[in-house]
Amino acid sequence: MKYLEEALALLKLGNVIATKTDTVYGLLADATIDTAVQQVYEFKKRPNDKALIVLVNSLEMANNIAEFTDETMQYAHQVWLEDKKPVTLVLKAKNISRIVTGGGDTLALRLPHDEFCLELIHQLGHPVVAPSANIAGHPTAISADMVKSDFDIKLPLIIDRGTCTNTPSTIISLLDNKLVILRQ
pLDDT at residue 16, as a whole number: 97
d(CA 91, CA 46): 21
Helix (H) or strand (E) holding 54: strand 53-55
Whether 57 contacts 165, CB under 8 Å:
no
Written as one string, the DSSP assignment of 62-90 is: HHHHB---HHHHHHHIIIIIIS---EEEE
Query: Could you please report the per-residue DSSP string of 97-113?
Result: -TTTTTTSSEEEEE---
Task: Give the pLDDT score at 46.
Answer: 94
Going by C-alpha positions, the residue among 41, 39, 2, 24 that lies closest to residue 120 is: 2
Tell me the domains of the chain and their CATH numbers. 4-183 (3.90.870.10)
| pLDDT value, residue 39 | 96
Residue 58: predicted pLDDT:
97
- Partners of 28 in beta bridges: 17
Phi, then psi, of 88 in degrees rounded to 5? -100, 130
Contact, 44 vs 149, CB < 8 A? no
pLDDT tens across the length of the chain (184 residues): 789 999 999 999 999 999 999 999 999 999 999 999 999 999 999 999 999 999 999 999 999 999 999 999 999 999 999 999 899 999 999 999 999 999 999 999 999 999 999 999 999 999 999 999 999 999 999 999 999 999 878 899 999 999 998 778 999 999 998 999 999 8
H/E stretch holding 43: helix 34-44
